[in-house]
């Protein structure tokens, strides 16, 4: 069976920077408090005229340009987002139109902050089923600034806007995606939610008066969920793949909270791995955080051919997803690094 892997990466981060100082007062906290609790110093905010599809299309175009692949060659577009342009149609359909990928089947996946990993898993299976010589665009994109209550210090301080993308296709033997893992604990779905806007609670004046249209999160509950489920999921994934923990060279996690990642890191047992972090500069960009971080590391030349890369997402639902890959040769060296802001780790 032909192995499927990452051929190129791309990302888009809005130019508007939102510092801790700008949101601290409304949330009743300080810059020092935000950094101490999260490791985040700033994040990006989308322009008023942009929707999730606009950010997603720019990230997708960056990946296509890096690979030298035209949009007409794309067979599938799988977009992970929990902040779609509209309840319907699928935001992926709009992205297909924006980038001119007229031959692609396009659809959305909502696994909240695990979405990119879920979407990568689905796209890999579709490419295996569809035969050789086909490509898939997997995109993670979110504009959380549109659903935040900026007086809620538990959520307002965390999130930024952005999009990341990868191009999947056939890779040389020994490279590519080795194993994936998806987990959902629906019994804990109440830990993260946007209560209003669906069939359970439509947008009404009463809903708006209570702020039910905003993102809500039980921070302590989420932390406990991650500490309980992430190490176990990664252990099982590596065991199934026949890969030792010490053979993992790179860990690219969802950029949820730097302090939380620091707390769970020792329990993951990855002694030789570098944990890649971009949250200091970009915050938690939802389903975009893994592909954005992957793209930045890739364009910096941090992945060598054959390196074992472990990507992991976790978020609402509650969900955990992971992808284990051996890095394949890419077209990175043919393209100049884009003008990205310095990333703190």
Interacting residues of 121 by C-beta distance below 8 A, sequence separation 6+:
180, 182, 321, 323
Q: Which is the catalytic residue, given 254, 257, 276, 298? A: 254
pLDDT classification of 2: cutoffs 50, 70, 90: confident
Residue 95 tokens read as 């992205």
Clarify whether 175 is annotated catalytic: no
Over range 125-151, report the average pLDDT: 91
Report the sign of the C-alpha dihedral through residues 89, 167, 304, 281, in that order.
negative
* Annotation says 276 is catalytic: no
What whole-number distance in Å separates Cα of residue 320 and Cα of residue 182?
6
What is the band of 331 on the pLDDT scale with cuts at 50, 70, 90?
low
- Model-level pTM greater than 0.85? yes
Whether 298 is catalytic: no
Active-site entry in 113, 175, 250, 257:
113
CB-count burial class (<10 Å; 0-12, 13-18, 19+) for 147: middle
Task: Give me the catalytic one of 20, 110, 257, 284.
Answer: 284
- Same topology, domains 4-173 and 177-329? Answer is yes
Domain range 4-173, CATH class: alpha beta
- pLDDT digits over 49-105, tens only? 999 999 999 999 999 999 999 999 999 999 999 999 999 999 999 999 999 999 999
The secondary element (H helix, E strand) that includes residue 59 is: helix 52-67
Domain-wise residue ranges, the chain: 4-173, 177-329
What CA–CA distance (Å, rounded) separates 257 from 277? 10
The fold of the 177-329 domain, in CATH, is Peroxisomal Thiolase; Chain A, domain 1 (3.40.47)
Q: In whole angstroms, what is the distance from residue 53 CA to residue 60 CA?
A: 10
């Amino acid at each position: 069976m032909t192995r499927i892997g990452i051929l190129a990466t791309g990302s888009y981060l809005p130019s508007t920077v939102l510092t801790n100082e700008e949101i601290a007062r409304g949330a009743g906290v300080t810059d020092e408090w935000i950094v101490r609790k999260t490791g985040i110093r700033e994040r990006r905010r989308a322009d008023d005229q942009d929707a999730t599809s606009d950010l997603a299309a720019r990230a997708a175009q960056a990946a296509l340009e890096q690979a030298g692949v035209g949009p007409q060659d794309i067979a599938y577009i799988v977009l992970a987002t929990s902040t779609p342009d509209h309840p319907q149609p699928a935001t992926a359909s709009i992205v297909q139109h924006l980038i001119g990928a007229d031959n692609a089947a396009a659809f959305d996946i909502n696994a909240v902050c695990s979405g990119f990993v879920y979407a990568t898993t689905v796209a890999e299976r579709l490419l295996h089923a569809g035969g050789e010589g086909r490509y898939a665009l997997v995109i993670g994109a979110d504009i959380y600034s549109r659903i935040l209550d900026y007086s809620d210090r538990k959520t307002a301080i965390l999130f930024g806007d952005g999009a990341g993308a990868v191009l999947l296709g056939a890779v040389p033997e020994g490279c590519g995606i080795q194993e994936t893992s998806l987990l959902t604990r629906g019994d804990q779905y109440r830990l993260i939610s946007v209560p209003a806007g669906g069939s359970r609670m439509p947008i009404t004046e009463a809903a708006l008066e209570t702020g039910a249209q905003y993102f809500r999160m039980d921070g302590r509950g989420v932390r406990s969920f991650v500490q309980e489920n992430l190490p176990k999921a990664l252990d099982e994934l590596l065991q199934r793949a026949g890969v030792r923990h010490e053979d993992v060279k790179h860990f690219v996690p969802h950029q949820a909270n730097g302090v939380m990642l620091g707390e769970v890191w020792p329990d993951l047992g990855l002694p030789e791995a570098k944990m890649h972090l971009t949250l200091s500069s970009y915050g938690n960009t939802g389903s975009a955080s893994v592909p954005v971080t992957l793209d930045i590391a890739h364009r910096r030349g941090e992945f060598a051919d054959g390196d074992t890369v472990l990507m992991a997402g976790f978020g609402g639902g509650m969900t955990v997803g992971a992808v284990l890959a051996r890095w394949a040769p890419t077209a990175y060296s043919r393209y100049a690094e884009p003008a990205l802001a310095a990333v703190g780790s």
